[in-house]
Amino acid sequence: MAAITKTKKKDFLTIGEWDTEDIDELLQEAAALKKAQKQGEPTPYLSGKILGMIFEKSSTRTRVSFEAGMLQLGGHALFLSSRDIQLGRGETIQDTAKVLSRYVDALMIRTFAHETVEEFAKYADVPVINGLTDLHHPTQVLADLLTIYEHKHKLKGLKVCYLGDGHNNMCHSLLEGAVKMGMDISVASPKGYLPNPQILGAAKNEAAKKGVKVEVGESPEAMIQNADIVITDVWASMGQEEEAKQRLQVFQNYQVNESLCKHAKADFLFLHCLPAHRGEEVTAGIIDGPHSAVFDEAENRLHAHKAILKKLLEKC
């Protein structure tokens, strides 16, 4: 039997592992796919392809946008809750990845430890997409970059400010994404909740190459100064439910509210990956107000995911 030669697969585990040019290309592709969808043009680029989606945590946006996106590209998506597949009963990641690779063309995984998606990627023969780990949320940040571009018509030269839990997935992927695209980024977080030192260090190195600034500090007023983009996230991420009460105290001074936002640029854009807790990390006045683009941001998950799927799968 003739040997089948396969091109080396590429995964989407973090923003940091992609080049600026690749991210730029993904953003342009996402914009083109969005336009095609709005104009009712068919986009059957992944006809007959199947995406397996493993979820070890809850999801509204990620699940529905990947599934809808795959259908819009002419393919199919399978929702695989870890509660229902043998992975949840102790079958190894290695065996699960190898078996699923025989059935599907790509895998998307939402899980706890980042090492879990890395292990999936190591053993899967098909591209693996990180649909959120405790450490990174790269597909969300691609959608955020698209949203910023649509509203500000550029990325380079803008200042992004993230407030709240600096040690979470959103902050880490934003640090990587902002500097890659030539934006300054400041992070306002209390002591003990600062970004992962390796991710912060790598972002600072990349920032030095790009001539942009990465600032981390405890003062929300200082960090938000002159920000073009203001971003926050929940104070207790999935898996941290038991710490939720204590975190309400720790982060109370980091709420994105009308008074704090006076220090940002007058035309600042507010983003939140959602789900949000109004009255905790953000006031209703901000998230439901004129500066907010959170529903454009949520919509853009769909377009960004389609661009990722097309890029990873079209040549497979």
The site for ligand NVA (CB under 6 A) is made up of 132, 168-170, 233-234, 237-238, 273
- Note if 261 is an active site residue: no
User: Which of ligand CP, ligand NVA, none does residue 237 bind (CB under 5 to 8 Å by kind)?
Assistant: ligand NVA
Q: Does residue 61 belong to the site contacting ligand CP (CB under 6 A)? A: yes
Measure the N-to-C terminal CA separation of the chain; round to a whole number of Å. 20
Distance of CA 76 to the CA centre of its chain: 22
Q: What angle do CA 167, 172, 174 make, to 5 degrees?
A: 130
What CA–CA distance (Å, rounded) separates 236 from 251? 10
Of the residues 61, 72, 105, 110, only one is catalytic, namely 110
How does DSSP classify residue 284?
Answer: H
Pick the piece of the chain touching ligand CP (CB under 6 A) from 29-37, 58-66, 224-232, 246-254: 58-66
Nearer CB in complex with ligand NVA: 178/212:
178
Closer Cβ to ligand CP, 61 or 114, answer by number = 61
Task: Identify what 168 binds: ligand CP, ligand NVA, none; CB under 5 to 8 Å per kind.
Answer: ligand NVA
- The count of other CB atoms within 10 Å of the CB of residue 311 is 18
Cα angle 78, 84, 88 (rounded to 5 degrees) comes to 115
CB of 140 to ligand CP, least distance (A): 5
CB under 5 to 8 A by kind: which of ligand CP, ligand NVA, none does 226 bind? Answer: none
- Active site annotation includes 140: yes
Looking at the Cβ atoms of 139 and 186, the one nearer to ligand NVA is 139
Tell me the C-alpha to C-alpha distance, in Å, between residue 74 and each of 52, 87, 261: 15, 28, 43
Q: At what angle do helices 61-72 and 294-313 cross, to 10 degrees?
A: 50
DSSP letters, 114-141, are HHHHHHHHHH-SS-EEE---SS--HHHH
Question: Which burial class, exposed, middle or buried, applies to 241 when counting CB atoms under 10 A from its CB (0-12, 13-18, 19+)?
Answer: exposed
Instruction: From 54-62, 68-76, 94-102, 248-256, give the range in contact with ligand CP by CB under 6 A.
Output: 54-62
- From the list 14, 111, 140, 189, which residue makes contact with ligand CP (rule: CB under 6 A)? 140
* Interacting residue with ligand CP among 20, 37, 43, 59 (CB under 6 A): 59
Q: What's the chain's length in residues?
A: 316
Task: Give the number of C-alpha atoms closer than 13 A to the C-alpha of residue 256, restricted to the C-beta side.
Answer: 37
247 is catalytic: no
Contact call for residue 111 and ligand CP (CB under 6 A): no
Please indicate whether residue 233 is annotated as part of the active site: yes
The SS3 assignment for 51 reads strand
- The one catalytic residue in 140, 172, 184, 291 is 140
Q: Under the criterion CB under 6 A, does residue 172 sit at the interface with ligand CP?
A: no
Q: How far is the CB of 275 from ligand NVA (least distance, A)?
A: 7
Spell out the alpha helix ranges (H) of the chain: 20-38, 61-72, 93-101, 114-123, 138-152, 169-180, 197-210, 220-224, 244-250, 258-261, 284-287, 294-313
Q: How far is the CB of 54 from ligand NVA (least distance, A)?
A: 16
Report the half-sphere exposure of 307 (CA within 13 A, side-chain side).
25
Q: Which is nearer to ligand NVA, 60 or 94 (CB)?
A: 60
Which one of 3-11, 12-20, 55-63, 254-262 is the stretch in contact with ligand CP (CB under 6 A)?
Answer: 55-63
Identify the residue among 224, 273, 286, 302 touching ligand CP (CB under 6 A). Answer: 273
Q: How many CB atoms lie within 10 A of CB 238?
A: 17
233 binds, among ligand CP, ligand NVA, none (CB under 5 to 8 A by kind): ligand NVA
- Rule CB under 6 A: which residues touch ligand CP? 59-62, 132, 140, 273-274
Provide the annotated active-site residues. 110, 137, 140, 233, 273, 301
